[in-house]
Amino acid sequence: AQTVTQSQPEMSVQEAETVTLSCTYDTSENNYYLFWYKQPPSRQMILVIRQEAYKQQNATENRFSVNFQKAAKSFSLKISDSQLGDTAMYFCAFPSANYGGSQGNLIFGKGTKLSVKP
Amino acid sequence: KAGVTQTPRYLIKTRGQQVTLSCSPISGHRSVSWYQQTPGQGLQFLFEYFSETQRNKGNFPGRFSGRQFSNSRSEMNVSTLELGDSALYLCASSPGRDGEAFFGQGTRLTVV
């Protein structure tokens, strides 16, 4: 079965510091995408960053970067220079091959609640 | 470009009733997916529609159904509501298989 595990239910970080959120997953697929989504209190799910599994280079989007270890099936998110606006739930997700494997059929982890403190 | 619009934002229903939720995708997006989010189960995939056809369905009972119209707008229906159906229902649209999924703000359904 395809699964996504986020082992840190809650984390906190001081403003301007760096924090890393962990995610492990299990799939038998070889080509797939991995995503990190952010859900602030407004409930709007926002895509933070995505990684294509066939690319060895880790994805980067401004202050957000990933450490993708395909063999270990690990996909962690690093947030540098944390800002108060980064306070949110963060979800790791990937398309379920059981449901067609498109971006419309995502399996999500349970989430990590990140609090950025001033 | 307008984002994904879900209506209504909040809904309170009584056990046994039925409910219909609506989702208008981003213009040009043909795929619409629905997810249920609860504190206990997290985010779970309900179903996906593409060009008016249900492409995939998650592991939910038949009380949960949906449809998509020719303009890509989608509705989901839950019949014979149970207390456990109380959740945030999220809709996402994407252009197709490899396009990014954009989410709406959700409909908060409370069953009493």
pLDDT tens-digit series, residues B71-96: 999 999 999 999 999 999 999 998 86
Residue B99 has pLDDT above 70, yes or no: no
- Nearest CB to B43 within list A50, A91, A104: A91
Report the alpha-carbon distance of residue B101 to residue A106 in Å, rounded: 9
Local structure of A98: helix, strand or coil: helix
Please, which pLDDT band fits residue A2 given cuts at 50, 70 and 90? Answer: confident
User: What number is the average pLDDT over the span B20-46?
Assistant: 94
**Calpha distance B85→B80 (Å, rounded):** 10
To the nearest 10°, report the CA torsion of B95, B98, B104, B109: 110
Q: How far is B66 from chain A (nearest CA, A)?
A: 15
Provide the pLDDT confidence category of residue A43 given band limits of 50, 70 and 90: confident
Buried b (16+ CB within 10 A) or exposed e, A27-44: beeeebbbbbbbbeeebb
A33 to chain B: closest CA residue: B98
| Three-class DSSP category at B83 | helix
Is beta strand A112-117 parallel, antiparallel or unpaired with respect to A10-14?
A: parallel
The verdict on a CB contact (< 8 Å) between B94 and A102 is yes
Contacts of A17 (CB under 8 A, 6+ apart): A81, A82
Residue A99: φ, ψ to 5°: -120, 35
Tell whether B31 is within 8 A of chain A (Cβ): yes
* pLDDT number for residue A101: 58
Which 3 state secondary structure label does DSSP give B92?
A: strand
Question: Hey, which residues does B107 pair with through a beta bridge?
Answer: B89
Tell me what pLDDT residue A68 has: 95
